[in-house]
Amino acid sequence: MKNILITTDFSDNAWNAIFTALKIYAEVECHFY
């Protein structure tokens, strides 16, 4: 199991990075914080 910490400044680029990470790890058992 992976633990992934998502840091953000809530900019458009940050939101794109968050959604990309969610897509990449969609098939992996992990927790996002």
Tell me which amino acid residue 27 is: E
pLDDT reported for residue 1: 87
Query: How far is 20 from 3, CA to CA, in rounded Å?
Result: 16
Q: What phi and psi, each to the nearest 5 degrees, are found at residue 17?
A: -65, -40
Domain that holds residue 13: 2-32
Number of domains forming the structure of the chain: 1
What pTM did the predictor assign? 0.67
10-residue mean pLDDT profile of the chain (33 residues): values are: 91 94 93 92
Residues 6+ apart with CB under 8 A from 21: 4, 6, 32
